Amino acid sequence: MPDYETFEHDVLVIGAGGAGLRAAIEASAAGVRVGLVCKSLLGKAHTVMAEGGIAAALANVDERDNWKVHFADSMRGGQYVNQWRMAELHAKEAPDRVRELEAWGAVFDRTKDGKILQRHFGGHKYPRLAHVGDRTGLEMIRTLQDHGVHQGIDVHMEHTILSLLKNGDRVVGAFGYERERGRFKIFRAKAVVLATGGIGRAYKITSNSWEYTGDGHALAYEAGAELIDMEFIQFHPTGMVWPPSVMGILVTEGVRGEGGILTNKDGKRFMFESIPENYRAHTADDEEEGWRYCQGHKDARRPPELLTRDHVSRCIVREIKEGRGSPHGGVFLDISWIKQKLPNAAEHIKRKLPSMYHQFKQLADIDITEQPMEVGPTTHYIMGGVRVDPDTQMSRLAGLFAAGECAAGINGANRLGGNSLSDLLVFGKRAGEFAAKFAKEHQHGNVDNDKVDTVAREALAPFESSAGENPYMIQKDLQETMQDLVGIVRTETEMHEAMKKIASFKTRAEKTGITGNREYNPGWHTALDLKNLLTASEAITRAALERKESRGAQFREDYPDKDERFGNVNTIISKAADGSMEIRMEPLPEMPDYLKQVIDENR
Amino acid sequence: MNVQFKIWRGDANGGAFREYAAECTEGWVVLDAVLDIQRTQARDLACRWNCKAGKCGSCSAEVNGMPRLMCMTRLSELPLDKQVTVEPMKAFPIIKDLVTDVSWNFRIKKKIKQFKPRPPDAPDGTWRMQQEDIDRVQEFRKCIECFLCQDVCHVLRDHQMHERFIGPRFLIHVAALEMHPLDTENRIEELRNTQGIGYCNITKCCTKVCPESIQITDNGIIPLKERVVDDFYDPLGWFWRLLKKKADRKDVD
């Protein structure tokens, strides 16, 4: 075996967004040595793009809020296939995690009496999102980053992990490369935390950056952990649609939280037409009540624009399909109309939604204080991921933990806006805490040198032929396939077609060719990321085929209704002994009576 | 529309501009063109990018000689009858093509004293702050760490004083901490000494390139300079520090 540079940490955290940073901070505070690997520079992870806020029942704006209401909201939003224990821990612990950020220097917007301000968001009964204008993610990642760097965490920036290393059934480290020189590195660790985010790059229209190639999903799967709920992908209702180069860039739900309305080309506010039965009691009867809700009137109920993301996305798709869309294939999202209601509307919008104002002005020549935006659904988030123990975040492999988007369970079939940032904090902390505990109880394991050699050899294969397949083109073809065949509206025929195509992409991906050398070579990186993207895409498609019903983010045109046979099961994916992908259904854990009661009380 | 580009290709050992043509469509930003060239003509063309929406500060480069975020620079605002030049930031060592070694920035940040809040205001461990008291700090905290202000600052770019001056980005970072209503730390002495605030002669180049429109000089650096002056050239302040130092020394004894 060549002599690879080797690092030793007690806990290795892979990924430095909100979950990874929070895990690293917690592990470090527990007194173990922590290494943090990130694909980009520190502070650039996707968390930075989160806009609307962090959901936590602080009850600063509405004193009726508490963890029970938040729990019930999250379960309802997830269509009751969430892991109840994760939803419970999340609702209970989120307020402390937010207050902790303030102690570390975060500067949230304030209420009149000087507390952390909270705003309305889809599916949340009360104003619950702690926020900083529309740049909450930046505030969160910067706070964690600035706090973390003073804790003695070793940060390995611009590194990518290719494989987890195992000693028997235990995960004992990871093997990867650094971008700058393309050199391979071994990271030995007593415990490993995956916090790699999502899979957005499997789709053509996405709010996710190049990094989100399902690395943690694929690393865990290959090592022998299980993935659950992979069929549930959140298509955020409002992404930009024009000009084409910005298609998919996120337009925060905060626009609707501040009173923004969705209209079709006839100027009709179409969301009032289709309010799901289980939300009718929580939804405004008319436009006036909806506006009063956004203005903080406690007797008013939410406007239908603030229904859950899965539902709003489907309504938008319907409007477009039936010919009532906007000129560039979206619908209109209008916040400028509030000038009829507020004296200083333009200033108010700029203060509440500064980066949206800036984004549309600069990229689309639209002044959102004067004109409506054009928006349409964009691939935003995957509810599915590594199956973990709700309390410790450990996977079924000893020493392997996962947190944040790459882990699963809290969100069920659909995530509520704002629950992601709180998920990162709550379960990032737990993963860090229990990974540190595990590390203290175990010694370093042995590294399998043959495995390392195999991974290194395979990783270098694309250099053997510059005439091989262009990795960017395979990625593009995959993105189009997933977008068209495993998107918002799914059918069995189309997904079988997708499976065939994914198989052909796998063959092509084995023959990629790249030019240049190993130094900072994005072509090479794309070729390596493809493997993970293909694994994730196959898992998504298999799970979506298996769930023969429509629930939350999964909408099957051939099974358009909910089916109770699927109402209490999760799809579980794992790697079979022969190397093929195996899928099975497993019943949800039985919810204890006290939580059933909480749900009943909040119907 | 066919647009001609001149992109710098090379590494620490040297390099040169290479010419590319790209078929650009409506609304394209410079980053669209660079990624298209990467996909179709130069698979190994190195550049950093992430959010493509001006929020992460990864794709900093110099477009037609101006420090810009490639993702927020529309082609339509550039003169396209001439070649569009794209080159890496000049204040930092080159790694490859458009990618520079910005690790110095991360080392500097680590040296700045971290946030240290006063004891909580309420028994439940929380604080109270009025919005008007945090508006300024929130302005500074909009910084996306693109380091364009560092790139354009002549103290760093032309005089390479990276060891004696922390640059506008970190002066703003210090300002955000110093003006944070809850913070109790004092960072004035290092500002004057190791962090070299005196080297800034307020040419405001940093403010001009800031993609977040932070008023770096007027709202951040100048007030900090005033604090330094108040602390160090005010005889009462000087006397007070002398006493404090003596007291501190006693503590150590």
Spatial neighbors of B11 by CB under 8 A, at least 6 apart, are A519, B94, B95, B96, B97
The amino acid present at A149, given as its one-letter code, is V
Tell me the chain B residues in contact with residue A48 when contact means C-beta distances shorter than 8 Å: 50-51, 55-56, 144
In the stretch 5-64 of chain B, residues with CB closer than 8 A to chain A read: 11, 25-29, 32, 38-40, 42-58
DSSP state of B219: I
Cβ-nearest to B99 among A102, A472, A520? A520
Which chain A residue has its CA at the smallest distance from B125's CA?
Answer: A99
Q: Where in chain B is the domain with CATH 1.10.1060.10?
A: 103-252
Tell me how crowded residue A313 is: count the other CB atoms within 10 A of its CB: 24
Query: Residues A97, A103, A108, A109: what is their CA dihedral angle, to the nearest 10 degrees?
Result: 120
Measured between alpha carbons, how far is A505 from A98 in angstroms, rounded to an integer? 43
- Strand positions, DSSP E, A51-203: 54-55, 118-119, 129-130, 154-156, 159-167, 170-178, 184-194
B164 interfaces chain A, CB cutoff of 8 Å: no
Judged by CB atoms closer than 8 Å, whether chains meet at B44 and A102 is answered as no
Indicate if the pLDDT at residue B245 is higher than 70.
Answer: no
Contact A334, A268 (CB under 8 A): no
Measured between alpha carbons, how far is B52 from A353 in angstroms, rounded to an integer? 18
Q: Quick check: helix, strand or coil at residue A168?
A: coil
pLDDT at residue B119 in the model: 97
Write down the ipTM of this complex: 0.93
Tell me the chain A residues in contact with residue B56 when contact means C-beta distances shorter than 8 Å: 43-44, 48-49, 209
Judged by CB atoms closer than 8 Å, whether chains meet at B141 and A142 is answered as yes
Superfamily of domain B2-100: Beta-grasp domain (3.10.20.30)
As a whole number, mean pLDDT of residues B89-105 equals 97
pLDDT tens digits, B144-177: 999 999 999 999 999 999 999 999 999 999 999 9
| A156 assigned to active site | no
Measured between alpha carbons, how far is B10 from B31 in angstroms, rounded to an integer? 19
For A307, the token pair is: 């229904």
Look at the alpha carbons of A67, A71, A73, A77 in this order and tell me if their dihedral is positive or negative. Answer: positive
Judged by CB atoms closer than 8 Å, whether chains meet at A110 and B48 is answered as no
Indicate if the pLDDT at residue B243 is higher than 80.
Answer: no
Cis peptide before A243 (omega within 30 of 0): yes
Which residues face B3 on adjacent strands? B22
Judged by CB atoms closer than 8 Å, whether chains meet at A245 and B55 is answered as no
Indicate if the pLDDT at residue B249 is higher than 70.
Answer: no
Tell me how crowded residue B117 is: count the other CB atoms within 10 A of its CB: 16
HSE-CB at B46 with a 13 A cutoff on CA atoms is 24
The amino acid present at A555, given as its one-letter code, is F
Domains A235-379 and A460-567 share a fold: no
β-pairing, A233-240 vs A373-382, is antiparallel
Write out the H or E segment, with its range, that includes residue A255. helix A254-257
For A90, the token pair is: 């999340």
In the stretch 191-230 of chain B, residues with CB closer than 8 A to chain A read: none
Contact A402, A424 (CB under 8 A): no
The amino acid present at A461, given as its one-letter code, is A
Q: Where in chain B is the domain with CATH 3.10.20.30?
A: 2-100
Q: Which of A44, A61, A135, A351 to mutate to test the interface with B (most CBs of B within 10 A)?
A: A44
Cβ-nearest to B50 among A40, A146, A473? A40
Q: Which residue has the tokens 């450990």?
A: A394
* CB-count burial class (<10 Å; 0-12, 13-18, 19+) for B61: buried
Measured between alpha carbons, how far is A308 from A123 in angstroms, rounded to an integer? 5
Given the residues A120, A124, A236, A309, select the one marked as catalytic.
A236
pLDDT at residue A563 in the model: 96
For A524, the token pair is: 């090479």
Tell me how crowded residue A265 is: count the other CB atoms within 10 A of its CB: 14
Tell me the chain A residues in contact with residue B48 when contact means C-beta distances shorter than 8 Å: 40-41
Residue B52 falls in which region: left (phi positive, over 0), alpha (psi -120 to 50) or beta? left
Domain range A235-379, its CATH number among 3.90.700.10, 3.90.180.10, 3.40.50.620, 1.20.120.1760: 3.90.700.10
For A491, the token pair is: 């059918």
**Residues in chain A with pLDDT < 70?**
1
Which chain B residue has its CA at the smallest distance from A153's CA?
Answer: B110
Percentage of chain B exceeding pLDDT 90: 88
List chain A domain ranges: 235-379, 460-567
**Per-chain mean pLDDT for chain B:** 93
Q: How many residues does chain A have?
A: 603
pLDDT tens digits, B73-82: 999 999 999 9
Which chain A residue has its CA at the smallest distance from B37's CA?
Answer: A472
Measured between alpha carbons, how far is B8 from B16 in angstroms, rounded to an integer? 6
For A290, phi then psi, to 5°, come to: -60, -45
pLDDT tens digits, B40-82: 999 999 999 999 999 999 999 999 999 999 999 999 999 999 9
User: Where residue B253 falls among pLDDT bands split at 50, 70, 90?
Assistant: very low
The C-alpha R_g of chain B, in whole angstroms, comes to 22
pLDDT at residue A274 in the model: 87
Smallest Cα distance from A52 to chain B, Å: 14
HSE-CB at A49 with a 13 A cutoff on CA atoms is 25
Judged by CB atoms closer than 8 Å, whether chains meet at A522 and B44 is answered as yes
Indicate if the pLDDT at residue B129 is higher than 50.
Answer: yes
DSSP state of A306: G
Smallest Cα distance from B43 to chain A, Å: 5
Contact B88, B98 (CB under 8 A): yes
Q: Quick check: helix, strand or coil at residue A248?
A: coil
pLDDT at residue B252 in the model: 45
Measured between alpha carbons, how far is A318 from A309 in angstroms, rounded to an integer? 14
Which chain A residue has its CA at the smallest distance from B58's CA?
Answer: A44
Q: How many residues does chain B have?
A: 253
Judged by CB atoms closer than 8 Å, whether chains meet at B53 and A138 is answered as no
Measured between alpha carbons, how far is A486 from A489 in angstroms, rounded to an integer? 7
In the stretch 106-145 of chain B, residues with CB closer than 8 A to chain A read: 106, 109-110, 114-115, 117, 120, 125-131, 134, 137-138, 141-142, 144-145
Residue B200 falls in which region: left (phi positive, over 0), alpha (psi -120 to 50) or beta? beta
- The CATH code belonging to domain B103-252 is 1.10.1060.10
Measured between alpha carbons, how far is A349 from A369 in angstroms, rounded to an integer? 7
Spatial neighbors of A335 by CB under 8 A, at least 6 apart, are A255, A258, A259, A260, A349, A353, A368, A369, A373
For A546, the token pair is: 């298996």
Nearest residue to A382 (alpha-carbon basis) of A582, A558, A575, A217: A217
Angle B113-A431-B126 from CA coordinates, rounded to 5°? 50
Smallest Cα distance from A476 to chain B, Å: 10
Which residues face A37 on adjacent strands? A14, A156
| A135 assigned to active site | no
Domain A460-567 is of which CATH architecture?
Up-down Bundle (1.20)
User: Where residue B238 falls among pLDDT bands split at 50, 70, 90?
Assistant: low
pLDDT at residue B237 in the model: 66
pLDDT tens digits, B183-209: 999 999 999 999 999 999 999 999 999
Per-position b or e across A349-373, b if 16+ CB within 10 A of its CB: bbebbbbbbbbbebbbebebbeebb
Its pTM stands at 0.95
For A561, the token pair is: 């209704």
Smallest Cα distance from B239 to chain A, Å: 32
As a whole number, mean pLDDT of residues B4-30 equals 96
Given the residues A9, A156, A159, A256, select the one marked as catalytic.
A256
Judged by CB atoms closer than 8 Å, whether chains meet at A515 and B129 is answered as no
Indicate if the pLDDT at residue B248 is higher than 80.
Answer: no
Write out the H or E segment, with its range, that includes residue A6. strand A5-14
Indicate if the pLDDT at residue B221 is higher than 90.
Answer: yes
